[in-house]
Each structure stands twice: as structure tokens, then as C-alpha cells.
Chain A
């Protein structure tokens, strides 16, 4: 299904490279073609949902190990994956795929937004998960219940 899309994607970089290099030497990857409608889609999504992940595939069927890892982290954290998580499958929307990279100034997928703020990709999520910061962020936004204390006074 995605063959045509990936085939055209594969053809794109070289032609784009020439034009972008010629016009925009040494700028960031953020100067492409983020349309107003895609920008609005992204802004609506990240402002109307506390937790948004732009990923490859779906939470049930991630199409990439990095996207899968982010889903696993959120599951381990106890996020209600049906209720509290909004995901976009960027493999199904080429405009969103390039648009989100430009919007976040971040060249790779997955991308996680919490409360409208770009948090990072897989590596950063893993770091935040291991350090305990992710739990604090999720609790703060009401996305997970706080962990009961270790010695609860029963």
C-alpha cells in the first residue's frame, strides 16, 4: 500500500537537495512546505489534546521500532492508550509527515507533544522515562494517576 508513497519519497531528496542547497545554504531543515492547513491540523491537535504522538503506524500496529518504543513507554507509564492518547499515522499522510518535521524543527519520527509542547523523540522519551521526569509530567497533566506511596498508611 505504501509502496508508491515511499517510492516517491525516495526519489524526492536528491531533487530537493539541489533546489534547497541553491536557495538556502546551510539553513535548517525547517524551510519546506508547511501549508496553512497542515499547520492548523497540527496546532489544533496539540492544543486540544494533552498527549499527542506523531508516529509511524498506529498504537496497535506501530510500523517502526522507535514509534513502538514510545508506545511501550506510555503503556508502562499507565497512560490510557484509548482515552488519553491522540496519535497521527504520518505514513498515511505525506503532507503531515513533512509538515510535522518542519513544525517541530525535528527531522525524525516519532514526535511527542505534551500539553502543546514538543517533548522530543524516542531517545528523549526514554531518558525522561528512566529519570522519572516523564511520570511527573504525565501526572501533572492528569494523564496518569500518581503512583501510590511505597508505604501507604492503610
Chain B
């Protein structure tokens, strides 16, 4: 990918934490921070790792509501939020749900 940047510490933290927590079938992390750098809340913030989109497919989500899935992830990423992570857009699916979508 042409636009791929070097992975920063927050991205690495998200990847390793979620890999350990969820043992995911797939894990995609997109750093959207540059799209939000001009927001008022980002004034004075120098981190290039504030806004992310994360898509995870994992068996660990089985039987859990979206709220519960998001909470699992948010709780696990407490130190990343403390270190300046500001927004996380989450797409959390089980392998069965992905199969259902691709069939539809």
C-alpha cells in the first residue's frame, strides 16, 4: 500500500493487546488520525496516533452483544487511551457472522 506509514507505538500496542485478548481470525487496524488532526479537540496534540478504525473477527465475541464486545476492547486498551488514543471505531464480528454476511 502506497500510503502505508510506519507503525507507531499505539498501533503496535493495539495490535498486540487485541491479538492476545481475542486470538483473532483477522485484525485490521487503520490509522485515521490525519483526517482528524484539524479537530478542535486535537489542537495542541502532537501524537499521530489518535484516531483508529479497527475491524476484528474473533470467536471470542460469540454470544456477546456489541456493547459487551466493545467494552472488552476498551477495557483492554486502557493504557492506549491514557497515552492519547482518542477515538476508536470498532467493527466486531464472529467468524459465523462474517460467513453469514458474505452469503447474503
Contacts and interface: CB of A to CB of B under 8 A. Distances in A.
Given A13-B84, A20-B82, A105-B71, 16 more contacts: A2-B43, A3-B44, A6-B41, A6-B43, A9-B41, A16-B82, A17-B83, A26-B78, A56-B41, A63-B39, A65-B36, A108-B86, A108-B88, A119-B67, A121-B70, A123-B90
A29 B82 contact: yes
Interface of A: 2-3, 6-7, 9-10, 13, 16-17, 20-21, 26-29, 56, 63-66, 91, 105-108, 119-124, 127
Contacts of B34: none
A16 B78 CA distance: 12
B78 A3 contact: no
Given A105-B71, A107-B81, A6 B44 contact: yes
A63 B88 contact: no
Contacts of A107: 74, 77-78, 81
Contacts of B36: 65
A66 B36 CA distance: 11
Contact of B39 (A26, A28, A64, A124): A64
A9 B42 CA distance: 10
A10 B44 contact: yes
B91 interface: yes
Contacts of A29: 74-75, 78, 81-82
Interface in B38-78: 39-45, 66-67, 70-71, 74-75, 77-78
B89 interface: yes
Contacts of A119: 67
Contacts of B43: 2-3, 6-7, 10
Nearest to A118: B67
Given A13-B84, A107-B81, A123-B89, A7 B44 contact: yes
